[in-house]
Amino acid sequence: MKAIRLHGIRDLRVSEEPTPAPLPGECLVRVRAVGVCGSDLHWFKDGGIGDAMLTRPLVLGHEFAGTTETGERVAVDPAIPCGECEHCLRGDTNLCPSVRFAGHSNEDGGMRDFACWPEKLLHPLADALSDADGAMLEPLGVALHAVDLAHLRPGMSVGVFGCGPIGLLILQLARLSGASLVVASEILPHRMDAARAFGADAVFHPEPDLPEKAVLETTGGRGLDVSFEVAGTQGAVYDAFNAVMPGGKVILAGIPEEERTSFSASTARRKGLTIKMVRRMRNTYPRAIRLVSGGKIDVRSLVTHTFPIDQAKLAFETAERRDGLKVMIKP
């Protein structure tokens, strides 16, 4: 089979490898689609993410779907929690300190022809969902978890700072949750257009102080109930904090280039803000499948580029330039 392995910074190689054999409780999955995520780009550009660094050639990819040996089409939950720790037993499997995660550290991911994965983490796909739709359930799951953390209620005002795929999914979910106002901030014109197409009431370019001023004008000086920072940039963090109202919430979902994120302590303290960090997702696949199957959330329009496995480096370079929205690889 073919596999894409990261050997070093920007050093992606397609290699021929033996097809893996499933262990007890696992299924062999023929991978049909795998998305290139922002965290994959961190590995590609930096040779690691956070405090996890490349120690061996690694197969990236955690947004993937495929077909089992019995012909069943499935989406793959990329996180394998231990199931025994305090966090797992209370349902916070995304916080498991012993979790194994596809395409991270020592766990090979989905950018290969075949992968063995625990059967209990394979979610059947309806016929109406494409393979790429199945791969997009993972970023939708992250967006769902972010919205869950915000406890959105009908009538709330929401800001999305960063309109990549997860930001645009949060925008759709905010609308579905009954937000009375959804504003977005984005630096790239084509992603600003996408935010408008997905229902943002106003879209701002993040020039200095512009999002804060524009939000205050749009909300009559009140500010936002909830800000979602999804860009992974320091500027987006500042804008998210400045635009939210006193007593509001800031949900930090972006992965920053540097290991440290900062914000004005006086702003956060004076406003009495609630600040939450998004850690992947928490048992969201069944809901994500229902939302997409029922036509409530559009994931298909987010996939703008598709590459064969032999053009993996071109796929990563396209994603790094932020061309389009979601880049997909089809082994």
Per-residue pLDDT tens digits for 242-278: 999 999 999 999 999 888 899 999 999 999 999 999 9
Same fold, 2-124+299-330 and 143-277: no
Cα gap 134→171, rounded to integer Å: 20
- Quick one: pLDDT at residue 257? 82
Measure CA of the first residue to CA of the last residue in the chain; give whole Å. Answer: 10
Is the pTM higher than 0.95? The answer reads: yes
Per-residue pLDDT, 137: 98
Q: Are 224 and 248 in contact (CB under 8 A)?
A: yes
pLDDT along the chain (331 residues), means of 10: 97 97 98 97 94 95 98 98 97 97 97 98 97 98 98 98 98 98 97 98 87 86 97 94 97 90 94 97 96 98 97 97 97 92
Comparing CA positions, the residue from 201, 204, 198, 213 lying closest to residue 231 is: 204
Q: 62 exposed, middle or buried (CB, 10 Å; 0-12, 13-18, 19+)?
A: buried
Which helix (DSSP H) or strand (DSSP E) does residue 270 occupy? helix 265-271
Which stretches does DSSP call E strand in 47-180? 48-49, 52-53, 58-59, 63-68, 73-76, 79-80, 100-101, 114-118, 122-124, 157-161
CATH superfamily of 143-277: NAD(P)-binding Rossmann-like Domain (3.40.50.720)
Predicted confidence at residue 203, as pLDDT, reads 96
- Measured from the Cβ of residue 44, the count of other Cβ atoms closer than 10 Å reads 21
**Domain boundary assignment for the chain:** 2-124+299-330, 143-277
CATH code linked to domain 2-124+299-330: 3.90.180.10
Distance of alpha carbon 107 from the chain centroid: 19
Whether the CB-CB separation of 112 and 308 falls below 8 Å is answered with: no
User: 150: helix, coil or strand?
Assistant: helix
pLDDT tens digit sequence for 167-182: 999 999 999 999 999 9
